[in-house]
Chain A
């Protein structure tokens, strides 16, 4: 291993049996589980302990005014984006960089669709109607949880764009390393999808 080169990016580490990027990504995802877990924990406490009236009272479906149609549609978008993400990795495994880049582009497009729908159909109208994060405990939670999730979507878009354009040169010099990095990107992206799978029923359907 020459100086300045990360070891075990392609060949498995002798101790762990996987390339180090994968273990690193899983450690990061474990910390992400705790981050979102703390918010789900807060959700349960605030919901179970909610009083009958006042700003901490739990809203009914009508009071919350969250459309299951928008939420459900966005759920499907994220599920499809998970499929295109894994197909990008499959394409690289089969040596087809062009196809992989196309699948990454579709994934980014779906992620942007998710964000645009979220902002134009939910955040902006909610805030305009006075249902901002300061309206009640429920909307405080709603904006914190979906906002943190939206930040993760933005982060995923940045990483995918990086590997589509400035980071794409790695495919020519070290295709296996590049493929592994896309696999790690996929692990992260599927996790973001996984969080939404819980956020959707918890925020849109359980009122």
Chain B
């Protein structure tokens, strides 16, 4: 089994680059939130930046870029599938809720 991290000091520069990208991403998230792009475009932009940042963390800091273990990838694929269900179910049913169970009628 070859050690993918034999020359680990070379990775340090990459970690610093990711750090810079994450810092820039954070500033960018705040900046774009201060302009009204109209409708739900702000939400889409904020989530897009967050997704890019999260992908950088997962790929570099969590070493997924170098991960070859298929069991880990299958776990993540299954996880992603169920996560999608969790996220899309409320989006898809929100407008179909009958009035009596609509949230907040007790407010």
Do these two chains interact? yes
Q: How many residues of A contact B (CB 8 A)?
A: 59
Given A33-B79, A44-B91, A55-B104; A197-B46 close (CB under 8 Å):
no
Tell me if B100 is interfacial: C-beta within 8 Å of chain A: no
- The 8 A CB mask of A1-28 against B (1 = contact, 0 = none) is 0000000000110011110001100110
Given A44-B91, A51-B105, A87-B12; A34-B42 close (CB under 8 Å):
no
| Partner-contacting stretch, out of A72-80, A150-158, A162-170 | A72-80
Instruction: Judge whether A190 and B42 touch: CB under 8 Å.
Output: no
Select one of B1, B18, B42, B107 contacting A206, CB under 8 A.
B42
| Partner-contacting stretch, out of A35-43, A110-118, A119-127 | A35-43
Q: How far is the CB of A153 from chain B (nearest CB, A)?
A: 16
Residue of A nearest to B12 (CB): A90
Distance A28 CA – B90 CA, assembled complex (angstroms): 25
Distance A64 CA – B86 CA, assembled complex (angstroms): 26
Instruction: Judge whether A76 and B26 touch: CB under 8 Å.
Output: yes
Instruction: Judge whether B49 and A27 touch: CB under 8 Å.
Output: no
Distance A124 CA – B40 CA, assembled complex (angstroms): 32
Q: Which of A70-96 contact B (CB under 8 A)?
A: 72, 75-76, 79-80, 82-83, 85-87, 90, 93-94
Q: How far is the CB of B85 from chain A (nearest CB, A)?
A: 9
- Across chains A and B, the number of contacting residue pairs, with CB separation under 8 Å, is 164
Instruction: Judge whether A197 and B76 touch: CB under 8 Å.
Output: no
Given A37-B87, A191-B62; A54-B104 close (CB under 8 Å):
yes
Q: Could you say which residues of chain B place their CB within 8 Å of the CB of A205?
A: 29-30, 33, 46
Which residues of B does A touch, CB under 8 Å?
1, 5, 8-9, 11-12, 15-16, 18-19, 22-23, 26-27, 29-30, 33, 42-43, 46-47, 49-50, 53-54, 57-58, 61-63, 68-72, 75-76, 78-79, 82-83, 86-87, 89-91, 93-95, 97, 102-107
Which residues of A does B touch, CB under 8 Å?
11-12, 15-18, 22-23, 26-27, 30, 33-34, 37-38, 40-42, 44-46, 48-51, 53-57, 68, 72, 75-76, 79-80, 82-83, 85-87, 90, 93-94, 137, 183, 186-187, 190-191, 193-194, 197-198, 200-202, 205-206
10 A–B contacts from the bound complex (CB under 8 Å): A17-B71, A34-B82, A34-B83, A34-B86, A37-B83, A46-B103, A57-B107, A68-B30, A87-B12, A186-B62
